[in-house]
């Protein structure tokens, strides 16, 4: 039995769909049954209502489970609220899951983290992601951590936000000069990696896999590719990082779904890249190119 936390999230829903297509019936931990019914093939999965932030729900969710795929993280594109908080979800939720998994006799947890995860200032988004990894590594459970770069695919938040900005802004803001490098990876390729990790516990347990697509792109080049794909043209304007941080804070204060958050600014503090051969070397297949995707799929 496989339990997927965050089953209605972006990676979670794609993983559920793939597992069902391959004849499996995964157990899905979800907070809202109605939302799950809109997103998941609900008649082909087992639904458990609960959350990693609700320890009492985890006993039922983990009963009879051998492997957990932990995708229930609050990502940097979402702003915090009284109901959703980075620390409570990413750190507290992971801690709850680990304790409950050990009590239930779960053999293994596969955690979906993010490229570039590292220690940071206490209370920051990045520090929370770092602590969630650290707790799992030190848990005594069998574990695997997968750190993908920024995702692309239908409704992927990073690309969706930039495309919305192209349609709504008269200019393209190049944060920090647009020089930060990214290595976008297709969500379906991330799911293939997860599937291969699930199928080969002996080789993959106790390892951290940092994965990205087959090409590097500067932030400027990503915008240029999106403008070409959407047949739009906007002047590019240098946007100093400190000024953009102020703007992100202002948007968080007034917008329910801001196009840029303070936490998302952490993606521009380093090049979001790894070895171009990371997926092919470790998992034996070539991931899809971002440009190929844009040439064949509507944005």
Q: Give pLDDT, residue 76.
A: 78
Domains annotated on the chain, with CATH: 2-149+186-211+274-285 (3.40.50.720)
190 vs 95, 124, 220, 268, 291, CA distance in Å? 24, 26, 24, 22, 17
Q: Give pLDDT, residue 84.
A: 73
Instruction: Please report where in the chains the tokens 């990696």 appear, as a residue.
Output: 193
Q: What is the pLDDT along the chain (299 residues), one digit of tens a residue?
A: 999 999 999 999 999 999 999 999 999 999 999 999 999 999 999 999 999 999 999 999 999 999 999 999 988 777 777 667 788 999 999 999 999 999 999 999 999 999 999 999 888 889 999 999 999 999 999 999 999 999 999 999 888 888 888 888 888 889 889 999 999 999 999 999 999 999 999 999 999 999 999 999 999 999 999 999 999 999 999 988 888 888 888 877 777 777 778 788 888 888 999 999 999 999 999 999 999 999 998 87
Among 111, 94, 105, smallest CA distance to 206 is for 111
What is the rounded distance in angstroms from the CA atom of residue 82 to the CA atom of residue 79? 10
Among 221, 243, 224, 240, smallest CA distance to 232 is for 224
Per-residue 3-state assignment (H helix, E strand, C coil) for 139-170: CCCEEEEEEECCEECCCCHHHHHHHHHHHHCC
The answer to whether 266 and 176 are in contact (CB under 8 A) is no
Tokens for 280, please give them. Answer: 């092919």
Among 156, 114, 116, 132, smallest CA distance to 52 is for 132
Among 148, 47, 55, 48, smallest CA distance to 100 is for 55
What is the rounded distance in angstroms from the CA atom of residue 45 to the CA atom of residue 51? 17
Residue 126 DSSP SS3: helix
Distance, CA of 234 to chain centre: 29
What is the rounded distance in angstroms from the CA atom of residue 181 to the CA atom of residue 262? 19
Among 36, 55, 54, 38, smallest CA distance to 46 is for 36
Q: Give pLDDT, residue 251.
A: 77
Tokens for 165, please give them. Answer: 């900005």
Q: Give pLDDT, residue 257.
A: 78
Beta strands in 19-112 (DSSP E): 27-30, 46-49, 67-70, 108-112
Among 134, 98, 105, 78, smallest CA distance to 252 is for 78
Among 165, 266, 149, smallest CA distance to 215 is for 149
What is the rounded distance in angstroms from the CA atom of residue 159 to the CA atom of residue 222? 9
**Predicted TM-score of the model (pTM):** 0.94
What is the rounded distance in angstroms from the CA atom of residue 155 to the CA atom of residue 10? 8
């Amino acid at each position: 039995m496989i339990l997927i936390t965050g089953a209605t999230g972006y990676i979670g829903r794609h993983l559920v769909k793939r597992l069902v297509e391959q004849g499996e019936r995964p157990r899905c931990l979800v907070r809202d049954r109605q939302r799950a019914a809109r997103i998941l093939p609900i008649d082909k999965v087992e639904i458990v209502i609960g959350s990693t932030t609700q320890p009492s729900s985890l006993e039922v969710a983990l009963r009879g489970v051998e492997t957990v795929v932990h995708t229930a993280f609050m990502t940097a594109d979402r702003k915090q609220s009284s109901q959703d908080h980075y620390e409570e979800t990413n750190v507290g939720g992971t801690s709850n899951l680990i304790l409950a998994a050990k009590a239930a006799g779960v053999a293994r947890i596969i955690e979906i983290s993010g490229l570039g995860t590292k220690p940071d200032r206490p209370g920051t988004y990045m520090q929370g992601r770092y602590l969630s990894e650290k707790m799992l590594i030190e848990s005594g459970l069998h574990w695997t951590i997968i750190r993908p770069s920024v995702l692309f695919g239908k409704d992927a938040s990073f690309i969706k936000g930039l495309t919305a900005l192209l349609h709504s802004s008269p200019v393209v803001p190049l944060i920090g000069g647009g020089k930060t490098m990214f290595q976008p990876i297709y969500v379906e390729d991330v799911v293939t990696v997860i599937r291969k990790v699930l199928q080969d516990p002996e080789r993959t347990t106790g390892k951290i896999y940092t994965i990205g697509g087959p090409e590097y792109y500067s932030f400027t080049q990503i915008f240029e590719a999106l403008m070409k794909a959407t047949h739009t043209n906007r002047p590019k304007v240098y946007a100093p990082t400190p000024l953009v941080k102020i703007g992100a804070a202002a948007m968080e204060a007034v917008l329910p779904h801001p196009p840029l958050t303070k936490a998302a600014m952490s993606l521009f503090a380093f090049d979001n890249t790894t070895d171009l051969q990371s997926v092919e070397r470790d998992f034996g297949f070539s991931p899809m190119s971002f440009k190929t995707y844009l040439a064949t799929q509507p944005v």
